[in-house]
Amino acid sequence: MQNYAQVLRFRLICTANARAVFDYFIGYKLGLTATPRDYLKKFDKHKPTTNDPREFERRLLLDTYRTFGCEDGQPTVRYSLLDGVKDGFLINPTVVDARTEITTELLSEQGFVVEFKDDEGEDQKETYKQREFEKRFFADATNKLFCKTFLENALRDPVSGEIGKSIIFAVSQKHAAKLAQILNVMADKMFPGKYQSDFAVQVTSQIADAQQFTINLTNNNLLGSANFLAAYKTSKARVCVTVGMMTTGYDCPDILNLGLFRPIFSPTDFIQIKGRGTRKHNFLQQIFDDTLKESVKAPDKTAYKLFDFFANCEYFEEEYNYDQVIKLPAPKGRGEGGGGGGPATYTGIYEYAGDDLVSMLKEETIGTGGMKIDRMFFQRFEDNVRENKFIATSVEAGQWDRVIDYVNHEVFDKPTEFYSLDKLRRAASVDRRLTLREILERIFGLIPRFKSKDELLEEEFAKFVADYKPDEAGAIPAIKNYFKAYVTSDQIRSIIESRQYTDLATNPLLSTRDFKAVPAKYRTLIPEYVKDYVPVQSFAN
């Protein structure tokens, strides 16, 4: 047990200080990073202003190129997301453009604008915002049209022939509930006797155990398993209908269909959503009968479909200016102003009669060149900042207060670009609140990538272990769980500080049982340590 504790401590210390690994081991080094940079760019050790040997040594320690033998400042190999697609490790979507005559008319920066005359003959105008889409316009006929089109064209599971695992993104929780209900009714007609209102399931924050549902879908036991073939393990539920829960950090490689049953107003959201389907998968690993394996003609996932009822893909690919507010396209060939990019305007009272039709159904497989949003993401801001001599010089000199003040006053919120910290945070797709300094450090290569919330938590916990060296090796998991919960949750901190421990009984992050598993001295030591040494604001979403 003592040896185990020593190994555990060493691993935790190395997590906090990766350089310790290189100092400890002698041998060949392999470095992998998402954004390699030359940290010594514009640094001349012979100049009087930069000849401090301590500063030069610090810069050498930061230089990943030098650490891994790339003295010329060029990495040995570059490998991008698009390279992954070209080489067959990832998959680009097959886009199914299935816009209807009505849904695309709802979309503009201002909302859906309707002009009409009131009972007294006076001109009136009313604008419906996004939150009103479902309530005002998504009547049963349109929802049924979405679901019917989706089910008739969805990719099927290559083993069982049922609808492939799918995620549908709805406008609201109410809309998600309605779509799940319609899908269940339709599935009962398509596959008589196979489902009992468990073909589609709503996965939103209002649903109990919604987070567990996402896990169960990945593990092939959502609402049951092996519904069609006893020797084939796959979820009985085939479709999760969500709003925003499954957009980021969700890994389910056998997803075959994604449905955009709502407009997307953020390029970050668009990237995250379509990313749910890019993983490859071999379905044979879920089969427990060799005879059945032999009968499967195409066991590998080579495609996934992205159903788009709102022309989102067209807009992000052809029209979207990545530094401007989105103005989604109006439909072509219907109404006044169609194709002008502004709000759709009509004369007369608009009455939805339930006669919505699919005006287009077109499939396009995205090639190895990828989508424009894959190529342009975050690039323009990086280029502009790197080209700014004042910023580059100040970063090289380590004058961070000066740099941050300059960016806030001279770069953000300018009429031509409209950059902002909040926008950059969303674009970065990180599960925590980034600081402006972190963003600039990544752009100038001072950090290779943005660390996730859990990576930072692991590092902070490693520092804690290095300082206090717990002897209770068996209690390390409980201590870590308590540490992470206290750092990331305002509610947990409030419960601990107020000593209202009974409130933990129903808390999903840290239960009463979890709390009691923590040795008594750490229950008070960790809160004191976190207050003194851990920047909890960095872990906010």
Gap between the Cα atoms of 483 and 493, Å rounded: 10
Give Cα 189 distance to the centre of its chain: 34
Compute the average pLDDT of residues 7-19: 47
Using CA atoms of 104, 110, 112, 114 in order, give the dihedral in degrees to the nearest 10: -140
121-155 pLDDT, tens digit each: 455 555 555 555 555 556 788 888 889 989 999 99
- Determine, yes or no, domain membership for 335: yes
Q: Report the CATH number at residue 204.
A: 3.40.50.300
Q: How many CB atoms lie within 10 A of CB 336?
A: 11
pLDDT at 467: 87
- Determine, yes or no, domain membership for 17: no
pLDDT at 96: 87
Range of the domain at 245: 94-365
- Which residues 6+ apart lie within 8 Å of 276 measured at CB? 167, 246, 247, 250, 252, 255, 258
Higher-pLDDT residue of 264 and 375 is 264
Say which residue the tokens 């989105």 belong to: 326
- Determine, yes or no, domain membership for 68: no
Q: Is 540 exposed, middle or buried (0-12, 13-18, 19+ CB in 10 A)?
A: exposed
- Determine, yes or no, domain membership for 85: no
425-474 pLDDT, tens digit each: 766 767 788 889 988 998 888 888 888 888 889 999 999 988 888 887 78
Does the pLDDT of residue 41 top 80, yes or no?
no
- Determine, yes or no, domain membership for 123: yes
Contact 59, 40 (CB under 8 A): yes
**Whole-Å CA distances, 327 to 115, 314, 376, 435:** 20, 12, 18, 29
- Determine, yes or no, domain membership for 64: no
Which residue, 183, 157, 354, is CA-closest to 257?
157
Which residue, 362, 358, 485, 392, is CA-closest to 104?
358
Structure confidence at residue 118 as a pLDDT band (50, 70, 90): very low
Does the pLDDT of residue 116 top 70, yes or no?
no
Angle made by CA atoms 6, 9, 12, in degrees to the nearest 5: 150
Determine how β-strand 239-242 pairs with β-strand 166-169: parallel
200-221 pLDDT, tens digit each: 999 988 888 888 999 999 999 9
- Determine, yes or no, domain membership for 377: no
Q: Is 174 exposed, middle or buried (0-12, 13-18, 19+ CB in 10 A)?
A: middle
**Whole-Å CA distances, 35 to 82, 134, 213, 268, 441:** 15, 41, 34, 19, 11
- Which residues 6+ apart lie within 8 Å of 14 measured at CB? 20, 21, 24, 462
- Determine, yes or no, domain membership for 260: yes
One-letter identity of residue 323: D
Split into its structural domains, the chain has a count of: 1
